[in-house]
Amino acid sequence: MNFSLHKDILIRDCRTISEAITQLSKSNHKCLLVVKKNNELIGSITNGDIRRFLAKSKKFYIKVKNVCNKNFIFLENKKFKKKELKKKFFKKKVTLLPVIDNKKKIINCYYLKDFVSKKVFEENLNNQNIEAVIMAGGFGKRLAPFSDILPKPLLPIEGKTAIDNIIQLILKYKIKRINLTLSYKKNIIKSYLKDNYKNKKLFSFINENKPMGTVGSLVKLKKFTKKDILLFNCDTILNINLNDFIDFHYCEKFDLTLISAIKNIQIPYGVFQIKKNSMLRSIIEKPKKRYLVNVGGYMINNSILNLIPSDKIYNMDQLIADCLKKGYRIGIYPIDEKDWLDTGDWNEISNFLNKDR
């Protein structure tokens, strides 16, 4: 059985977990191998490892060597039969098996994708048990005067509308049903989708006769589906692996999982640190802070819909608060800031279009 070492699965031990998140988002293997300068293998790190760490700490600059799993699965440098290797992959539930020499130096690697069909590899979950929802009923006041004419889901971004970007991400992962909550200029949105998508059974519409808040209209889904919900704001464009996100949600046994971007925020002023007697201790010039911010993407177990009141304005922050009170498990799925665009804000759009890419 042939095997090879792909450079994209290796990450130096001195790199940060923030850098690991970026590298993982570009990899198909869901796992990185942490190595020293001489390729000595010291551990493995997955999205789950990183996100469990971030649930306890907000230290994005921690080096991967301090977070990685050092009890990793590896193989010695000898010949294996294909049947034997395939059994190891499924028994250990890993996507790659590194091969090391007697000095723990990584010399090659086997990959799960070489042992199963492309369909099995890409569809780790039965996404037919999930329905997608796009919240597209808002007024888009931040986008005026554009939104005075067209609804914000139809804002063009590099040749595609905002809603096209979300729909195409969903369809890429074999989810066959998309519900849209509509209110403001709903007939324009319906006409656009009818003209641009041939599959007329793809969309189902939840019409809001009055404002229902960001998630209030989801209460209507209880009557029509027992499936779990993949939910997006219509002004959120994401560059993520949805299977990885969904896999994380179920493997960690969360009831609600929020996609969160690592947002860099710089305060444009000098910041004073003072003593108790009002004496100046120091000044920090234009400090930078990092926060995990809500980007408007969620995985919601169907049972959570029972918390949403009928015929009332109800927002996502209220749902999160109620979930916490009831003891539901809420997970955070961090992504790199570069993998998220908020199309509901002119400044964010301008920065995205003007930056070097």
Pick from 74, 58, 60, 57: which is nearest to 19 by CA? 60
CA angle 20, 117, 50 (to 5 degrees): 15
* Backbone angles phi and psi of 336, in degrees to 5: -70, 145
Domain boundaries, the chain: 7-119, 127-354
CA angle 234, 237, 238 (to 5 degrees): 130
pLDDT at residue 350 in the model: 57
Is 127-354 in the same CATH topology as 7-119? no
Provide CATH code, domain 7-119: 3.10.580.10
DSSP label of 246:
H
Residue 352 · residue 341 · CB < 8 Å: yes
Residue 111 · residue 9 · CB < 8 Å: no
pLDDT in tens, 53-68: 876 776 777 899 998 8
pLDDT at residue 283 in the model: 92
Pick from 107, 124, 112, 121: which is nearest to 85 by CA? 112
pLDDT in tens, 278-302: 889 899 998 888 778 888 999 999 9
Q: ω into residue 156 within 30 of 0, thus cis?
A: no
pTM: 0.72
The residues near 137 (Cβ < 8 Å, ≥ 6 apart) are: 181, 182, 183, 184, 186, 208, 211, 212, 217
Residue 127 · residue 175 · CB < 8 Å: yes
Q: How far from the centroid of its chain's Cα atoms is residue 27's Cα?
A: 14
pLDDT at residue 325 in the model: 95
pLDDT at residue 250 in the model: 86
pLDDT at residue 237 in the model: 83
* Backbone angles phi and psi of 182, in degrees to 5: -130, 150
The residues near 112 (Cβ < 8 Å, ≥ 6 apart) are: 29, 89, 94, 95, 96, 121
pLDDT at residue 1 in the model: 45
Sign of dihedral through CA atoms 179, 28, 124, 35? Answer: negative
pLDDT in tens, 157-180: 777 888 888 998 888 877 888 898
pLDDT at residue 148 in the model: 62
DSSP label of 105:
B
Q: Select the CATH number that applies to the domain covering 127-354 from these four: 3.10.20.30, 3.40.50.2300, 3.90.550.10, 3.40.630.30.
A: 3.90.550.10
pLDDT at residue 320 in the model: 95
pLDDT in tens, 255-283: 999 998 877 788 888 988 898 788 898 99
Q: In the chain, which stretches have pLDDT less than 50?
A: 1-3, 123-126, 356-357
Q: What is the mean pLDDT of the chain?
A: 80
- Length of the chain, please? 357
